[in-house]
Amino acid sequence: MAIAERDATGRTGAAGASADPRSAGRAARGSRRKRLRRDAVLLLLAAPGVAYFVVFHYGAMAGNVIAFKDYVPFDGLWASQWVGLSNFQAVLADDAFWHAVVNTLWIALLQLVFFFPVPIALAMLLHSLTRDSVRRFVQSVAYLPHFLSWVIVVAVFQQVLGEAGLLNNVLGDAHLHTVDVIGNPAAFKPLVVAQVIWKDCGWGTIIFLAALAQVDEQQYEAAAIDGAGPWRRFWHVTLPSLRPIIVLLLIMRLGDILSVGFEQMLLQRASVGPDAAEIIDTLVWQRGLVQGDYGYAAAAGLFKGVVGAVLVFAANKVAHRLGEQGVYA
Amino acid sequence: MSAAGVRPAWMEKPRPLTQAAKGVALAVVVLLVLVPFLIIVSTSFASDREVIDGGGWVLWPQHPTLRAYREIFDGGIVGHALWVSAGVTLVGTAASLACTIGLAYALSRRDLFGGKPVLLLVLFTFLFPPGMIPSFLLVKSMHLLNSYASLIAPFLLNVFNLVVLRGFFQSVPEELHEAARLDGAGEWLILRRIVLPLSKAALAVVGLFYSVSYWNAWFYASIYLDSDHWPLQQVLRTYVIGGAQLADTGAGDASAVAAPQTIQMAVLVVATVPILLVYPFLQKYFTKGVLTGAVKS
């Protein structure tokens, strides 16, 4: 989900003098000790959160040095031998890595084509309902799967589409061909997209519904009076009003293209095999945490992290250039 | 949303065909979500015989029984996992909310000492997450493996939730702060007496997001904890998705069969119910919570 900052720093706007030490703070900015003392309580409140980020994000990030070492658990992280870029060379020369990259991009592309438009369509359908009670009911039901874990979602799909599941029972009773969906590598990628649609298409409507709600009702009215039918109103009023948000979400999704449902893939990797289900993140898990090749796994993970950060950064710049609000300040 | 429940005068009367198509589409959406749930709940209450006769599932149990639930709560691995999940969710959500409120409030104040570098420090982690292997090594080096703290401490704050709360705190009018300060209140008192009561909606949403993510977590449990410490979702994964045997529920006998369908479905229901319980109460806050701090169009 994209995150936008409010205003640049929140510092502007303190109108007039008052008892507020914060507006006085601007004048006294030179004196750091004064500001430190004034903000002591706030800094104390912030301390646990800041400590968390320092330890569990930056502390962990420092562990990426392992990607440049030949890690021997017995020697520990710091005593292990430096090996330069040889872990990265191993990753980039590894067919399994490129296979995982191709799988990742392929699944991301399928989701972009087949998942991305669904919440937009559903939001328009919901928005067009004139009866509030119906709309609210459908919304409540459609948001729900978003809050279920991937474990539950995958289990539900097994129950419905599995070999002995609901669908095959119905088909069998009707003496029709049963389908082989779960555990079938050929059907895996469509299955993955279907799962994402089931879990998140309802939740995804929220942002589009909000955009639709902001369209000035008078625009529709004016268009209708000018003789535009429902289809032309959709084309000339609704779509243009959704355009900025669609473009923004699309760009952000492209920036995040190297991450496609790690938990979802890992849960089903055993049943369809790595050929169909291996993505970059599951490869990192397999090589590092299962096989114990920490150097290789950390290098692959770091490679993904750096490329991913560059992509998100670039996507944000593009979004800014198009005049939309970016993800961060 | 269009004006409450009435069709505006300029809008054509919808054609019956369009109406029907819409109705069908909505019904499909609702049924696709609800039918799987109905079947899972029904099967969990059905007797083993009914399930076998029905070929593995039951749409509506003729002779509902609580046997499956009694078995999983009779001690054993599911009962224990349920306690683990509940404990981690409660403690984790409380800790996460406390830390998020503190940092979000500090960062919401204008001209905070060191506010800008701290904000950048936080937002950068959004751009560049630490990665699976370094996180694992960190948790290991902190001796948190096989401790429930490993399910909480590394996930204490979430940048998205932080930004949502900060946005809400910033929307509290500055005049209220000033009035309170004139009355001699400090930041701590202002936060407790003014800002938090005004941000209930945001706190509800952020609390929900945190508790759902603690409740649903399984991956890090699978790498940080041995099976004696597993939370419910990881147990569910192993026994329902993986098809392993639920040994100590007394459900399966010694022959290596997967747990009977009814028990698997009961575990699934138990893992889902807490979410279904809080969901209706918090639902009205979703839109507000998601849109604050999220994209503004």
Inter-chain residue contact A63 with B182, CB threshold 8 Å = no
Is residue A230 within 8 angstroms of chain B, CB to CB? yes
Query: Cβ distance A220 to A194 under 8 Å?
Result: no
Instruction: Report the pLDDT value the prediction gives residue A13, as an integer from 0 to 100.
Output: 38
| Closest partner CB to B133 (pick from A166, A217, A288) | A288
| Closest partner CB to B131 (pick from A10, A64, A312) | A64
Residue type, A49: G
Predicted complex ipTM: 0.87
Q: What whole-number distance in Å separates Cα of residue A167 and Cα of residue A160?
A: 6
Inter-chain residue contact A329 with B123, CB threshold 8 Å = yes
Q: What whole-number distance in Å separates Cα of residue A110 and Cα of residue A133?
A: 34
Instruction: Report the pLDDT value the prediction gives residue A224, as an integer from 0 to 100.
Output: 86
Inter-chain residue contact A131 with B5, CB threshold 8 Å = yes
Is residue A59 within 8 angstroms of chain B, CB to CB? yes
Is residue B263 within 8 angstroms of chain A, CB to CB? no
| Closest partner CB to B128 (pick from A42, A52, A305) | A305
Question: Which of the residue ranges B15-29, B36-50, B259-273 has the most confident prediction, judged by mean pLDDT?
Answer: B15-29
Inter-chain residue contact A262 with B112, CB threshold 8 Å = no
Residue in chain B nearest A141 by alpha carbon = B30
Inter-chain residue contact B2 with A217, CB threshold 8 Å = yes
What residues does each domain of chain A span?
30-82, 86-321
Instruction: Report the pLDDT value the prediction gives residue A268, as an integer from 0 to 100.
Output: 93
Q: Collect all residues of chain A within an 8 Å Cβ-Cβ radius of residue B156.
A: 49, 52, 56
Q: What whole-number distance in Å separates Cα of residue B205 and Cα of residue B281?
A: 10
Residue type, A77: L
Is residue A17 within 8 angstroms of chain B, CB to CB? no
Q: Sorting pLDDT into bands at 50, 70 and 90, what band is B288?
A: low
Inter-chain residue contact B57 with A62, CB threshold 8 Å = no
Where are the CATH 1.10.3720.10 domain residues in chain B? Answer: 73-291
pLDDT tens string B2-36? 444 567 777 777 788 888 999 999 999 999 999 98
Q: How many residues does chain B have?
A: 297
pLDDT tens string A111-159? 999 999 999 999 999 988 878 888 888 988 998 899 999 999 998 898 8
Q: Does residue B78 surpass a pLDDT of 60?
A: yes
Tokens of A100: 């995982």
Q: Sorting pLDDT into bands at 50, 70 and 90, what band is B147?
A: very high
Instruction: Report the pLDDT value the prediction gives residue B291, as an integer from 0 to 100.
Output: 64
Residue type, A154: V
Inter-chain residue contact B125 with A57, CB threshold 8 Å = yes
Inter-chain residue contact A10 with B30, CB threshold 8 Å = no
Whether domain A86-321 has CATH 1.10.3720.10: the reply is yes
Q: Does residue B210 surpass a pLDDT of 80?
A: yes
What is the mean pLDDT for each group of 10 consecutive residues in chain A (329 residues)?
38 41 52 85 95 95 90 77 91 95 95 94 89 88 91 90 81 83 90 96 90 86 86 87 85 85 93 92 95 93 92 83 54
Inter-chain residue contact A3 with B12, CB threshold 8 Å = no
Is residue B28 within 8 angstroms of chain A, CB to CB? no
Inter-chain residue contact B102 with A47, CB threshold 8 Å = yes
Give the count of Cβ contacts less than 8 A between chain A and B: 334
Q: What whole-number distance in Å separates Cα of residue A23 and Cα of residue A17?
A: 7
What DSSP string runs through A192-260? HHHHHHHHHHHHHHHHHHHHHHTS-HHHHHHHHHTT--HHHHIIIIIHHHHHHHHHHHHHHHHHTTT--
Residues 68-97 of chain A with CB under 8 A from chain B are 77
Query: Cβ distance A200 to A123 under 8 Å?
Result: no
Topology annotation, domain B73-291: MetI-like fold (1.10.3720)
Residue in chain A nearest B278 by alpha carbon = A147
